[in-house]
Structure formats: structure tokens, C-alpha cells
Amino acid sequence: MTDDRSGDQRLNKNQRRDAAREKARTLREQQKKKDRRNRVALQAGLILLALGVVTAVALVLINFQTGPATGPRNMATDGIRIGEGFTADTAPARDAAAEPEERTRAEDDPIAIEVYLDYQCPVCQAFEETNAEQIGTLVSEGVATIEYKPVAILDRVSQGTRYSTRSANAAACVADFSPDSYYDFNEILFAEQPPEESEGLTDDELIGLTEDADVDDPARVADCIRDLRFERWVAATTTRASDTPLLQNEEGQFGTPRVLVNGELYEGPVDDATAFARFVAQADSEAFSEENASPSPSASPSPSTEPTPAEPTPTP
């Protein structure tokens, strides 16, 4: 074995010091190069990681804000139509941004009642409470159909929880998975309507109401509500309703409720069952007898409740 120290021992003190300095300098340069390579690699990794995080966050935000591109099944007209036996019409899902399908009506078809409503709207609740019994009678006997068209114009009165949007989405979830339960769910939503300027019902409470309506496949309905799956459709159908001239007042504003009978807009008081019955009779006198036009006494507003305004709730 050769002892390398013998060569160093032949160098004088200054030479050994210079050699040591040169060796240290070489090691320092090598370490600097290594550090630079590691730093560049680390920076590149951090940049890639940051880009990945930004992309993931952007996708989450996009999905949260817009939801999927399809609307609910059974609401191709932006509403769900319920007829004799409280059975809903069925239809495939459509793009949320697609214009709603138009219905054609033959002369001998049942009376077509359409209601644009916001589940946070107290005036909509007044219309429902006043007229639900006579409408239910007409539907059960096959004399009329009722088509519910939920919109969301009152998110501003639910303390930031967007209850109008969430309740309309919940209704769309029921229409999608359990259409024949929609009539009952609509009634329950109005019976449990939270007051304006409250936070509204929670998602879990809305899910509980779907169970009260005995929906099919409650687990999928619950997931749909929690995911706000039809948020984009709710926004789109609200815009479409707001932009429809027939549904606007003289100032060009859209409000709820908006009620159509055979395509004619009802502009009478929402809390007068007799006035609405007469309007239905005038809209389709052949299909609506004088006997049916007489509302049940229980359908009239209770005198113990606060007076309900007759004007629709305007858009914000």
C-alpha cells in the first residue's frame, strides 16, 4: 500500500498550505455547483406544486360556482308538470343553458296552470295556502295540470346562505330522482318556509323534508342537495324567466309568484281563492264548471294571519 502522505511530507510548509487552500477551494466550488443544482430542482418542484394547487383550486371554484352543465330530468320546460293522480310528466335531462321546450295544447286538453315561484317568497306561500286545495281537486280529477317552475330571486334575504337557490336546487333534485313526490314536496316546502332575513333551512333540514315527502332513493336525493348539483340550472332558469316579457310588470320587472292559466297571466290578488277560481273559469269555461269554481271555505286565508300583499315579490 502506498502512503500518499510521503509526497506531502516532501513539500515545505508554504507549499503544503497552498495545496490545502487549493483543495479547499476546489471542494467549495464543487459544493456551490451542487447547491445550485439542488436549488434549481427545488424551485422547479415548488413551481410545479404551486401550479398544481392553483389548478385544483380553480377547478373546485368553477365546479362550485357553476355546477354540472345539465339540468334535472323531468323539467325540460323549466318546470315539472303534474297531472291526474298527481303523476309527473317525465323527460330526459337537457343542457342547463338550453332554451326550455314549449308545450303545445290541444283544445280538449286539461286546464294548464303554471306557477313561477321562489320558495323563500311569502307572497308565493300565500298563493299556495289560498289555492292549493282547489288546484289539488282539479288535478286529482284530471280537469287541470299544475306545472311548478322554481326560480331563485331572493337569495339576498337569507343572510348569505342563498336559501332561494338551495331550495330550488332541492326541488330540482326531487324532480330528477322522484318526480311523483314533487307535489308533496312543494307543499311541504311552503308549509316549512323560513321567514325572510333568516338563514333559511339548512341542507340537512331540506333533506329531512324530502324524506317527509317519501322520495324514492333518498340517499341520492340527499347527495344531490348537498352537492348543489343543479345550481347552474337554477341560475339559468331564473334568468330565462326574468327575461320573458309576458312575466314582467309594466316597469319590465319580474317577480314571484307569476301564475299562468292556459298561457294567460293571472294578475288578481294572490290571497283570494274566489278571484283565482273565476280567472280559471274564464280561461277555460268549457272545462271548468260553476261547481268547481266555488272554493272550499278552508281555502280562504285565515283572519288570524297577517295580511298578505297582493303584489308579486320583485326581483332584487
- Please, what are the averages of pLDDT over each run of 10 residues along the chain (316 residues)? 51 64 66 71 64 48 54 98 97 96 90 98 98 97 97 97 98 98 98 97 98 98 98 98 96 97 96 97 66 44 36 53
The label of the residue with cell 487549493 reads 22
Q: What is the spatial distance between Cα 232 and Cα 237, in angstroms, rounded to a whole number?
A: 9
Model pTM score: 0.72
pLDDT of residue 41: 66
Q: Which of 111, 88, 83 is nearest to 276 (CA)?
A: 111
pLDDT of residue 299: 39
Residue 231 exposed, middle or buried by CB count within 10 Å (0-12, 13-18, 19+): buried
pLDDT of residue 210: 98
